[in-house]
Structures are given as C-alpha cells and as structure tokens.
C-alpha cells in the first residue's frame, strides 16, 4: 500500500490518537498540520525553510495547477516533487471544492462539472475520471476523490442527493486510479445531517479506501455544529486508516479535531493571515501590524523557537509590514507555520503521555480567539 497508517497510542479517555503515516516520501508523525501550497509553493516559503521548521506533508490544488501551468507540463517536469523541488509528502485536493468555491458559473451533472476558469473565463470540465488522471499526472503521494462539497446550509434532500453522487463519483475515481505509488482517499460528505454522514461513511468504507477525509465542514457552519458532526462521524471510520479533516487549522479547531480522532489537517489560515500581519501566540492571535507594537521590542511569542522569534522583534516586523517589505510577510509566515507544526507535536506528546485532556484544558484556559 502506498500509504499506511500506524497507530502508536490511543488516548484512554477520548478519541485522540498518536500515529505515524508511512508514505513514499517519508514517514510523518500524526496528528499533523499540512501547510497549503496551492500553486506548487507554500507562499513566501522555500522548501528548505519548510523542511527546517518541520513541515512533513504539504498540499497543492488540482484545480489551480490544471488551469495553470497545466498537469501535462508538471508531468513533463517529472511531477510535483521535482517541479517544486520538495522531497517531503504532497497531497492534492481533487478540485471539486475549488470549482464550487472559485469557478464562477458552474454546472453539475452526473458526468461531472462544467465551469469557467477564474483566470481567463475559459470553459472547463472536470469529471471524476479527469480529476483522477490530472492528479496521477501531478504525482502527489495522496490524492483526493472528486467530490461535491455540500454547501452550508443545504436541505436534507439536496444533501442526500449530492452525497449519493459523491459516492458514485468516488467509485469512478477508484476505477480510474491506476498508480500504485499513490493513495486515493475518499471524502465523506453528508452536510450537517448525522444520518447522511453515516450513509456516506458506510458507502465509502464499503469501497475500501486507504484513508478518509471528512469534507463538507469548515464551510461557514458554527464551530459547535462542526464539532457535533465530527463527534458523530469520526468514530464510524476504520481505526487503522488515517482521518483527514479538510480546511481546518485554527488552534482551537485543531485541538477539538484531535480530540475527536482526526489525524491530518490543512488550512490556508496561518499563511493567509500572516500576510496581513496576524500572528498566533499561546494566548491567542495578535496583529503585529497594529500601532501598539511600534516600540515593542519583544519577540512575537517568547515561548516560540522559530527563526522569526529567535531573531526579530515585534517592532521590526511591524516596520517591515507597514513599509510593505517582502521580508515582513516571510517572517510572519515562518512564525505561523512553525507555531502550528509545533503545536501539533505538543498535542502528540500529550497523547503519548496520556495527558491530552490536561493539555486541552490548559489550552482553553489561556486561549482567546
Ligand atoms: C477551508 N474549508 C474547507 N476546505 C475544504 C476543502 C474540501 N475539499 C474537498 N471536499 C470538501 O468537502 C472540502 C471541504 C473544505 N472545507
């Protein structure tokens, strides 16, 4: 199997678990946070810096790379790892979510989705087979089935019909997937309906994927509703397969996702907000661009071991951001990614030492959103 999950330790009181994910490009500790590199680069970061800060698996997007530069060109370069000179793990999202959230004027049929490129308005079409072919050409270690992310809110009838189609599409992806060195994950849908989440899990598990993503969350629903869906859905998934919660990445959601048994997370949040000067600390977020930090010569976070916090002050970073110096957003990005990657390592250690609930209580006692 291209990707194998190894369970190391289960928390005795919750669904939290520590594990390892074995892939063709290395073995990575879980729970893991995966930086997003939509267009074959984690914005402002070099592969060397990503490796140095402990990044293991990064994401790229099929939708974007299919439109530009095209999957054929990436294949000609020898695949994504060679193209971007990254020898760690790569996961590609299948394009479904991006088509629904980016591509204007889209039309969904049983066959697939017709949409207009957000770049040049050209008419495009993706089907389960085509999305799988594109991902095989891009060459990620983990690829995702082509699905429809049920929008929020959606009525039960729409959610049911869409989820049933996503399952038929997952089967078609499985039929089209012929690369033995890649793992194809199914994506659980079902909207905010427990019966449909159960149906989606049952149908996908019967198709037997090497890993399962929880889709259709972090789409604008209240966090408590997301947690409720996780509490219901995750325990239904096989214990010996990785669980990947798509699009989730603020510290509070990461803690609650780990609590419910999630192993893998991705989110643009840390890199996106870094570029406008929002950085994460153990007490919550701060906007280092704000005037209050003009003469603040302390590091962003005195407990943080990242390159930014070891070498630069809030005042200096604020100055760089105010003057729109590129180095400023590089420093905030380095910090935010390091913070989350190491936050996951601390959670993993707490699970191994069977003190995850204490870790979680300590986190919530300090954290202001
Ligand atoms: C930022 N939130 C978010 N990013 C997502 C990506 C996804 N990809 C495929 N399918 C999904 O359902 C899905 C849901 C998501 N929510």
Contact 128, 143 (CB under 8 A): no
Provide mean pLDDT across the span 112-127: 95
* Cα(75)–Cα(66) distance, integer angstroms: 11
CB of 215 closer than 6 angstroms to any ligand 1 atom: yes
Query: pLDDT, tens digit, for every residue of 28-45?
Result: 999 999 999 999 999 999
Residue showing tokens 């910090």: 335
Contact 3, 210 (CB under 8 A): yes
| Count of other CB atoms within 10 angstroms of residue 24 | 15
**Which pLDDT score is estimated for 1?**
86
**Which pLDDT score is estimated for 369?**
65
Provide mean pLDDT across the span 58-65: 98
Provide mean pLDDT across the span 10-24: 97
Provide mean pLDDT across the span 211-240: 98
Provide mean pLDDT across the span 6-20: 97
Confidence at 105, pLDDT banded by 50, 70, 90: confident
* Cα(302)–Cα(310) distance, integer angstroms: 9
Q: Which of 142, 146, 247 best tests ligand 1's pocket when mutated (most atoms within 8 Å of CB)?
A: 247
Q: What SS3 state is found at 369?
A: coil
Provide mean pLDDT across the span 223-247: 98
Provide mean pLDDT across the span 349-360: 98
Q: What is the mean pLDDT of the chain?
A: 97
Distance (angstroms) between ligand 1 centre and the Cα of 286 equals: 26
* Cα(228)–Cα(235) distance, integer angstroms: 12
Query: pLDDT, tens digit, for every residue of 267-283?
Result: 999 999 999 999 999 88
Q: Which of 155, 247, 254 is nearest to 196 (CA)?
A: 155
Q: What fold is seen in the domain 4-266?
A: TIM Barrel (3.20.20)
Confidence at 368, pLDDT banded by 50, 70, 90: confident
State percent of the chain over pLDDT 90.
96
Q: Which of 248, 264, 186 is nearest to 28 (CA)?
A: 264
266 is catalytic: yes
Query: Model ipTM?
Result: 0.99
- Is residue 332's pLDDT more than 80? yes
Q: Show me where the domains of the chain are located.
A: 4-266
Cα 307-322-272 angle, rounded to 5 deg: 60
Query: pLDDT, tens digit, for every residue of 75-85?
Result: 999 999 999 99
Instruction: List, in sequence order, the alpha helices (H) in 177-268.
Output: 194-207, 223-233, 251-259
Contact 345, 3 (CB under 8 A): no
155 is catalytic: no
């Amino acid at each position: 199997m291209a990707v194998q999950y190894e369970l190391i330790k289960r928390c005795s009181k919750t669904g939290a678990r520590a594990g390892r994910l074995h892939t063709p490009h290395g073995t990575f500790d879980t729970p893991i946070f995966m930086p997003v590199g939509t267009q074959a680069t984690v914005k402002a970061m070099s592969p060397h810096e990503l490796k140095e800060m402990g990044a293991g698996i990064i994401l790229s997007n099929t939708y974007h790379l299919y439109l530009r530069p095209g999957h054929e060109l990436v294949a000609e370069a020898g695949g994504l790892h060679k193209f971007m000179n990254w020898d760690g793990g790569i996961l590609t999202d299948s394009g479904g979510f991006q088509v629904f959230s980016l591509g204007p004027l889209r039309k969904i049929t049983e066959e697939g989705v017709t949409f207009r490129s957000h770049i040049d308005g050209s008419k495009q079409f993706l089907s389960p087979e085509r999305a799988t072919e594109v991902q095989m050409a891009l060459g990620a270690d983990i690829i995702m089935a082509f699905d429809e992310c049920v929008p929020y809110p959606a009525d039960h009838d729409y959610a049911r019909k869409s989820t049933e189609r996503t399952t038929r599409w997952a089967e078609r992806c499985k039929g089209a997937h012929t690369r033995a060195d890649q793992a194809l994950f199914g994506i659980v849908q079902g909207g905010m309906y427990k019966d449909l989440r159960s149906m989606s899990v049952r149908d996908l598990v019967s198709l037997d994927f090497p890993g399962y993503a929880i889709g259709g969350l972090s789409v604008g629903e209240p966090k408590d509703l997301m947690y409720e869906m996780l509490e219901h859905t995750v325990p239904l998934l096989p214990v010996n397969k990785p669980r990947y919660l798509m699009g989730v990445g603020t510290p509070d959601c990461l803690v609650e996702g780990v609590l419910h048994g999630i192993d893998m997370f991705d989110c643009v949040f840390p890199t996106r907000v870094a570029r406008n000067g929002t950085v994460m600390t153990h007490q919550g977020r701060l906007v280092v661009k704000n005037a209050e930090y003009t003469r603040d010569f302390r590091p962003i976070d005195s407990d943080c071991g990242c390159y930014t916090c070891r070498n630069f002050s809030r005042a200096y970073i604020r100055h760089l951001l105010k003057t729109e110096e590129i180095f400023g957003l590089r420093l905030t990005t380095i910090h935010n990614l390091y913070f989350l990657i190491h936050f996951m390592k601390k959670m993993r250690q707490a699970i191994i030492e069977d003190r995850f609930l204490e870790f979680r209580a300590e986190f919530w006692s300090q954290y202001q959103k």
